[in-house]
Chain A
Amino acid sequence: MSSLSDQHLVRGVDHAAFPTFDPVGTVRFYRDTLGFPVVHSICAAGWGPEDHPDFIHFFFDIGNDDRIAFFYYFGLPKPEVGKGDVYAQFGDDTPDWFVRSRHLAIHVDSEDHLLEYRRRLDASQWPVEMQIQHETIESIYTHDPNGYMVEITRALRPVTPQEDLDANLTIDALVDIAQRPGHGMDDLLVRKAELIVERAEAWQAEQEVSS
């Protein structure tokens, strides 16, 4: 039995990678506007079983040694983008809320830092499109030159331990009800109430022992 077997060993985002057809715009946005340094690049060709063009794979640091990376394929024609981005295009009838559901949100530590990135974006070709306060976070949003939505977000307050419990109960409830045909939010909230009744007091008692 390995001593590593119940440890959470991963260290965040080595890279989240996306294709680009506009390397200059991408560099202007991430390096020059947001100030994310270029930390790595690889010049390669398609040598494997699938033949593909020569390409550059390049990486920007997004904090904590995490990186966002792009592939630029020489000579690959850019798709027509109506709704969506250069990676995924959608029909006009796809709801905007669905198109926005995939995005990268990058963390900052304070309101001052959030406003500083707001200032940098507003001074560029890619100004902030929305600034919103959610339950416990405040975010600014824009789209990069490839159409990828970028969120920069700060916590309004630190996460509490009871929110960790609540999140786990939500997921356990979701897993329980997701197989039933026609399941909805109501089914989830009913199942979650059952789990709260089962587990909340014991959780509280554990918190008091360890504090």
Chain B
Amino acid sequence: MTHVRIGLVVPSSNVTVETEMPAILGRHPGADFSFHASRMRMAKVSPEQLAAMNAQRERCILELGDASPDVILYACLVALMAVGPGEHQRVEGLVAEQLATGGAEARVRSSAGALVEGLQALSARRIALVTPYMRPLAEKVVAYLEAEGFEVTDWRALEVEDNREVGCIPGDRVMDAARSLDLTGVDALVISACVQMPSLPLVELAEQELGVPVLSAATAGAYSILRAAGLPVDIPGAGSLLRADSLQPTA
């Protein structure tokens, strides 16, 4: 059984990444994973706090580098997307440079980049989103994805500003928001464009009910990690993106 060490850079109030990523990757048939997180202090998802959080990136990477992870996931999507188009490539480049300068071999990914990668893997062009953010931030997420070449046909902002509360949004509320979207002609639904809003149990459910491929920032992050680690993408019960290499026919 291959062992893979995953470094996670998470906002300090985030509890969902460290819940959902092990839950997803724990289902992998051929590898086992350990998770090692470093935290950037952030409680309120506001532009000021997001900027202050990004300034802690260097310290977090220094800490994680000491654990020799195989892959590092920079797991705060809105922190990058709120800065503007191209930010995930820029930050991934800086983290990669920081690691390479010190001779570390860890691969670098981000939740923002992973969402783009996952949507591209699904050959999606027209997409719909559910986000927990206040409207202005949600609009930045939409603009970011449009700059990456996607057409966001419909989206929801649940307007929960406190990041601790985002971690407690009930699944029903997320599902209702997803059901309320106009999914005509949509190639994929991002049921949670946020790594703090819990959504893992909803992904497969929504895919069955709504009849379109469904992913979340978390499932996309897992996809990106598996590709970075060179492992087959074959995880049951978490949406068709994570069955990309499965020999079973998709339901």
Contact = CB atoms under 8 A, between A and B. Distances in A.
A19 interface: no
Interface stretch (B62-70, B133-141, B180-188, B194-202): B62-70
Interface stretch (A42-50, A123-131, A149-157): A42-50
A54 interface: yes
Contact of B103 (A43, A49, A57): A49
A48 B62 contact: no
A50 B62 CA distance: 16
A55 B101 CA distance: 10
Interface in A119-175: none
Contact of A42 (B59, B98, B103): B98
Q: Is the interface of A mostly helix, strand, loop or mixed?
A: loop
A42 B62 CA distance: 11
Given A42-B97, A42-B98, A47 B58 contact: no
B99 interface: yes
B101 A54 contact: no
B5 to A, nearest CB: 13
Given A44-B62, A44-B99, A47-B104, 12 more contacts: A42-B97, A42-B98, A43-B58, A44-B65, A45-B62, A45-B65, A45-B102, A46-B103, A47-B65, A47-B99, A48-B102, A55-B102
Contacts of A42: 97-98, 101
Contact of A50 (B58, B65, B68, B103): B103
Contacts of B97: 42
Interface in A1-60: 42-50, 54-55, 57
Contacts of B66: 45, 47
B228 to A, nearest CB: 18
Interface string B48-65: 000000000011001001
Contacts of B102: 44-48, 55
**Dominant SS at the B interface?**
helix
A133 B170 CA distance: 78
Interface size class of A (residues with CB under 8 A): 10 to 19
A56 to B, nearest CB: 10
A45 B100 CA distance: 10
B103 A48 contact: yes
A54 B104 contact: no
A142 B59 CA distance: 37
Contacts of B65: 44-45, 47
Contacts of A43: 58-59, 62, 98
Contacts of B62: 43-45, 54
10 contacts: A42-B97, A42-B98, A44-B65, A45-B62, A45-B65, A47-B65, A47-B68, A47-B102, A47-B103, A55-B102
A43 to B, nearest CB: 5
Contact of B104 (A48, A50, A55): A48
Nearest to A48: B103
Interface in A44-79: 44-50, 54-55, 57
A49 B98 CA distance: 16
Contacts of A49: 103
B94 to A, nearest CB: 8
A49 B103 CA distance: 8
A44 B101 CA distance: 7
Contacts of A47: 65-66, 68, 99, 102-104
A54 B103 CA distance: 12
B99 to A, nearest CB: 7
Nearest to A71: B101
A44 B63 CA distance: 10
Contacts of A50: 103
A55 B102 CA distance: 8
Q: Rank and list the top 3 A-B pairs by shortest CB-CB distance, nearest first.
A: A48-B103, A44-B102, A47-B104
A13 B72 CA distance: 31
